[in-house]
Amino acid sequence: MKLITFIAIAGSVTATAFAGGSKEVIAPTPPPSPTLGGWFIGGTYGQFEADGDLGYSVLSKAAAVIGRLDIDKFDFDMYTLHIGRDLGTQVAGFDVAAYLEVGFLDGSATVADKRFNDIDVEIVPITANLKLERALFGPVNFYLTGGLGYAFTDVSADGSSDNDGGFYAQASAGLLYNVNSQFELYAGGRWLYLNSLQFGDAPLELDDAFAWEVGVRVNF
């Protein structure tokens, strides 16, 4: 009987000792999942008209005739894609971002002189840009952009084509609607400038132009 009582007391003391010595184990907080904070991608579609004319030389039976073809206008469809990042800084109350953009401008023009066929122009500009944006009211923001780069061009007419390229500049302004924290819709106007293109020995001149555009952007 005494032996049973001793064993019971010893077991009780041992259990108490283990209970008193136990420590609460706290699992470490897992590190936050990596994100692409500040990065965004987007694209636009737009249209514009551009004035222009084409220097030409025509070899006739009498002599080589040199002159210019008057072109009423070029009609262009404009597509762009861009990727960039918010810089986390402000200028005059505007949030600043930088982005790289690639575009595709597909245009054509009708020539009044029936000796010549229509002219087709494809332009692929690549630009580095800055974007300024600030809130106006509610989910609506105002934005300004500007960029410089280089444009690759292809001009086709009368069964011939020629590749060229030159300095390219653009600027835009408009309104942006924040659908939610990730998606943005925007619309505005864009100014474009491209140096003269070369079509054989004839320079094809495109004056600066203004386009309308709509776009979407996704933030990460």
- Predicted local confidence at residue 19, as pLDDT: 53
Q: Give the C-alpha separation, 8 to 47, whole Å.
A: 92
In this structure, is residue 9 part of a structural domain?
no
What CATH number should be reported for the domain holding residue 81? 2.40.160.20
Considering its fold, how many domains does the chain have in total?
A: 1
pLDDT at 63: 46
In-domain check, residue 88: yes
Q: Is residue 8 part of a domain?
A: no
* Strand-pair category, 209-219 with 197-199: unpaired
Of 132, 145, 35, nearest in space to 89 by CA: 132
Q: Does residue 103 sit within a domain? A: yes
Q: Check residue 45 and give its pLDDT.
A: 98
| Confidence (pTM) | 0.76
Report if residue 13 sits inside a domain: no
Helix residue ranges, H only, the chain: 2-21
Does residue 17 fall inside a structural domain? no
Question: 26-49 pLDDT, tens per residue?
Answer: 656 655 444 456 999 999 999 998
pLDDT tens, residue by residue, 64-77: 455 666 676 889 99
| Beta carbons of 48 and 55 less than 8 angstroms apart | no
Parent domain of 140: 39-219
pLDDT band at 128 (very low <50, low <70, confident <90, very high): very high
Whether 53 shows a pLDDT value over 60: the answer reads yes
Which of 11-15, 16-20, 115-119, 163-167 has maximum average pLDDT? 163-167
In whole angstroms, give the CA distance from residue 95 to residue 43: 20
Assign residue 19 a region (left: φ > 0; alpha: ψ between -120 and 50; beta: otherwise).
alpha
Q: What is the mean pLDDT of the chain?
A: 81
Q: Does the structure show a pLDDT above 60 at 199?
A: yes
Residue 149 has pLDDT above 80, yes or no: yes
Q: How many CB atoms lie within 10 A of CB 166?
A: 17
Residue 24 lies in a domain: no
pLDDT computed for residue 7 by the predictor: 47
**Residue 86 placed within a domain:** yes
